[in-house]
Amino acid sequence: MIAWLTDPLTHGIVVRAMLELTLLGVVSGGLGCWIVLSGMSYSAESLAHGMLPGLVGAALLGVPLLVGGAVGLVIAALSIVVVARVPRLDSDVAVSVVVTALLGLGVLMGLSPRTPAGLGEILFGDVLGVSDLDIRLAAGLGAAIVVVLAVLHPTLMAIGFDRAGARALGRRPAPFDAVLAVLLAGATLVAVQALGNLLVVAMLVGPAATARVLCDRMAAMMLTATLVAFAGSVAGLYLSYHASVAAGASVTAAILTLYGLALLWRAATALRGRRTAAAHA
Amino acid sequence: MPEPVTRGEVLVDADDLAATYPGATVPAVASATFVVHGGERVSVLGPNGGGKSTLFRVLTGELTLSSGALALPAGRVALVPQTERSRLDFPVSALDVALMGAVSRMPWWRRPSRADRALAREALDRVGLADRAQRTFGDLSGGQRQRVLVARALVQDAPLLLLDEPFSGLDVPSAERLRALLDDLAAEGRGLLMATHDIEQARSWDRVLCLNRVQIAFGPPASTLTAQVIERTYGSEIVTLPGGVELGILPAHHHHHDHGGHGS
C-alpha cells in the first residue's frame, strides 16, 4: 500500500506533473470561479478549441507552441469579432461557426502528409512531459491571477452580483470584463501545454463547477475549487501511473468524477432536507 | 450612519430631458421636466416601455441624455433594483451584498475597510435584518432581499435612492415593513424616486411623475392624477383603480415597442 502511494513519487516526471497541475489548480480555483459565475464557460471552450490551428501550425513550423497558441488565440478572437458582425447571425451562432471551422482546420492541418509528431500532445496534452519553462510559466500565471483577482475582488463581486446596477456603484463593467477575458486567454495558453487542446477546459471549468455545487460563499468556493483541482490532479496521476492510461485524460476523468459526486451529494442533502421538512409538517 | 442630507436641498433638476438608446431614432423618454428635493417621495408611473427604467439609467449615468439638461447637485445616486431580477445564485451573504455599497466610495484598487463593514452591519440593522447578516442572499424571502438591497444603498450613502418596483412580489407584512422604512429614509432627508405600477400607492406619496415616452404630468398626486392624465399615461393598458375596479382604457395613440428588450 505504502509502495503504491510512494512509487509514483520516485519518478521526477510525476512530481513535476503534480507541481504543474497544482499551479494550474490555483489558476482554476481563482479564475475558474469567475468563469463559471459570469457565464464565460462557453468562451473558455471556444478559445481553447479555436486556437488549435495556431498550435498545429507551430508544430509544423517548429516554433514554440506558446507562440503558435498566442497567434491562434488572436486569430480566433478576431474571426469571432468579424463573424459576429454578420447581420441576422446570433453571436452564439457566430462563435460556434468560427470555433468549429477553426477546430476542423486544425485537424486538417494536423492530418496533412507532414503530420507533426506531437499532434496527440497538442490535442490531449502531455502533462508528464512538461518543461521547466512550462512550470515557470504556470507559476508566474498563477501568481499574476491571484494578485489581480484579489485586488479587483470587491469590484468583481459588485459587478457579478448586479451588473445592471454596477454603474450606480460607479463601476463600468466593460473594463473588468476585459480583464477577465485576458486572464482567461492567458490561462488557456499556459494550461494547454500540459492538458492539451481538448482537455484544458475541464481543468479551467470543472473544479469551479464542482465548488459551485457545494458552496454558497465566494471565498469558500475558490478554496474548494482549488482543492478539487488538486485532488483531481493527484488522483488522476496515480490512476495514470498504476493503470497505465493517459495522464491528462485521467486527471480530467477524476475532476469530472468529483463533480458527479458533488451533484449526488447535493441531491441527497436536498432529499433529506425535504424528508425532514415533511416529517415536521 | 453618516450625516443625512438636509431636508429640502435640490437633488434632481431635470429640464426638458430626453434620452435615446444607441441606434434608436425615437427617444425612449422625452420632455421630462421635474425637481426632486431631499425628503420627497416621488413615484414614477407609466406603462412598460414608458421610460421609467430609461430615466433611472440616465440618473445613474449609464445612459447619457440626448437633449435637455440634468443637474444632480448632491452627487451620488443609489439604485435599488427589483429583487426578482437580482441574482439568487450568487454565492454571497446579506452582509456581502450590503458591503457592495462601499465600492461606490472607493477607487478600484481599494478594499472595504473595517469601518465599511461596521457601516454595512449598521445598515442591515437599520432595515431590520441584523440577525440575517450571515444568511445567503438567495435564501432570504423577497421582502428581506429588497431590504438588503436598500441596505446596500444606505452603505453607498447616497442622498437619492432610485427604487425599481420595490413592492412587486412582496406579501402584505413585508410591504408594510418596507413602506415604513422608506418613509423613515425620506423623513431623514433622502429623496426617493420609485418606479411603480400602483396608482393607489402613488397617491400616498408626495409627488408623482407620469411618463409615457414623454412626460405626461408632474406634481402632487391629488391634483395631478386626474382620469385624463391616467388615461394618457397608460394608453391602452388596463388600470386598477382604488377599490380593485379594473378599467380598460382605449389607446390614446399607437405605441412603438422598439425597446421591449430594455424592460420597463
Query: What does the block give as the cell for A279?
Result: 416529517
Cβ contact A96:A42 at 8 Å: no
Query: Of the given ranges (A120-124, B26-30, B68-72), which has the lowest mean pLDDT?
Result: A120-124
- Per the model's pLDDT, the better-predicted residue between B193 and B234 turns out to be B193
Please give the Cα distance from B141 to B147 (Å, whole number): 10
pLDDT recorded at residue B236: 56
Cβ contact A95:A82 at 8 Å: no
pLDDT band at B5 (very low <50, low <70, confident <90, very high): very low
pLDDT band at B155 (very low <50, low <70, confident <90, very high): very high
Q: What is the CATH number of the domain that holds A41?
A: 1.10.3470.10
List Cβ neighbours of A202 (8 Å cut-off, separation of 6 or more).
Answer: A195, A251, A252, A255, A256
pLDDT in tens, A52-69: 899 888 888 888 888 888
> Cα dihedral angle (A65, A71, A73, A75), rounded to 10 degrees?
-140
pLDDT recorded at residue B180: 93
pTM of the model: 0.85
Cβ contact A164:B81 at 8 Å: yes
pLDDT recorded at residue A12: 85
Q: How many Cβ pairs closer than 8 A exist between chain A and B?
A: 76
pLDDT recorded at residue B7: 54
Which whole number is the average pLDDT over B214-224? 93
Share of chain B above pLDDT 90, in %: 64
Contact (CB<8Å) B78/A212: no
Please give the Cα distance from A56 to A107 (Å, whole number): 8
B133 pLDDT exceeds 90? Answer: yes
Cβ contact B189:B38 at 8 Å: yes
Per-residue CA distances from A206 to A21, A46, A230, A270 (Å): 14, 15, 12, 22
Please give the Cα distance from B231 to A112 (Å, whole number): 72
How many residues would you count in chain B?
264
pLDDT recorded at residue B263: 40
Is residue A276 one of the residues assigned to a domain? no
How many domains does chain A contain in total?
Answer: 1
Is residue A280 one of the residues assigned to a domain? no
Which residues of B have a CB under 8 Å from any CB of A? 57, 60-62, 77-79, 81, 85-87, 90-93, 96-97, 99-104, 106, 108-112, 136, 138-139, 156, 162
User: Which CATH code fits B1-75+161-173+188-264?
Assistant: 3.40.50.300
Query: What does the block give as the cell for B155?
Result: 452603505
Contact (CB<8Å) B100/A158: yes
Please give the Cα distance from B34 to B193 (Å, whole number): 12
Contact (CB<8Å) B91/A153: no
Query: What does the block give as the cell for A241?
Result: 501511473
pLDDT recorded at residue A60: 86
DSSP-assigned letter for residue B214: B
Give residue A82's domain range: 2-269
Domain residue spans in chain B? 1-75+161-173+188-264, 79-158
The H-assigned helical ranges of chain B are 52-60, 94-99, 114-126, 142-156, 172-187, 199-204, 221-224, 227-234
A260 to chain B nearest CA, in Å? 20
Of A164, A215, A217, Cβ closest to residue B81: A164
pLDDT by residue for chain A (281 residues), tens only, comes to 788 888 888 888 889 999 999 999 999 999 999 999 988 888 888 888 888 899 888 888 888 888 888 999 888 888 877 777 777 777 788 888 888 999 899 888 888 777 666 777 788 888 888 888 889 989 998 999 999 999 999 999 999 999 888 888 989 888 998 899 889 989 988 888 888 887 888 999 999 999 999 999 999 999 999 999 999 999 999 999 999 888 888 999 999 999 999 999 999 998 888 887 777 76
Is residue A88 one of the residues assigned to a domain? yes
Is residue A279 one of the residues assigned to a domain? no
pLDDT recorded at residue A26: 92
Beta-bridge mates of residue B136: B93
How many residues would you count in chain A?
281
Cβ contact B57:B63 at 8 Å: yes
Cβ contact A136:A115 at 8 Å: no
pLDDT recorded at residue A235: 95
- Per the model's pLDDT, the better-predicted residue between B167 and B76 turns out to be B167
Which residues of A have a CB under 8 Å from any CB of B? 37, 151-155, 157-158, 160-162, 164-165, 167-171, 212, 215-218, 220-221
pLDDT recorded at residue B154: 93
pLDDT recorded at residue B260: 41
pLDDT recorded at residue A128: 85
Give the residue among A118, A80, A95, A257 at the shortest CA–CA distance from A197.
A118
Residues from chain B that touch A168, judged by Cβ atoms under 8 A, are 60-62, 77-79, 104, 156, 162
Is residue A106 one of the residues assigned to a domain? yes
pLDDT recorded at residue B1: 46
pLDDT recorded at residue B238: 54
Burial class from Cβ neighbours inside 10 Å (0-12, 13-18, 19+) for residue B261 reads exposed
Residues from chain B that touch A157, judged by Cβ atoms under 8 A, are 92, 96, 100
Residues from chain B that touch A152, judged by Cβ atoms under 8 A, are 108
B34 pLDDT exceeds 90? Answer: yes
B89 pLDDT exceeds 60? Answer: yes
Which range of A109-113, B4-8, B13-17 scores highest in mean pLDDT? It is B13-17
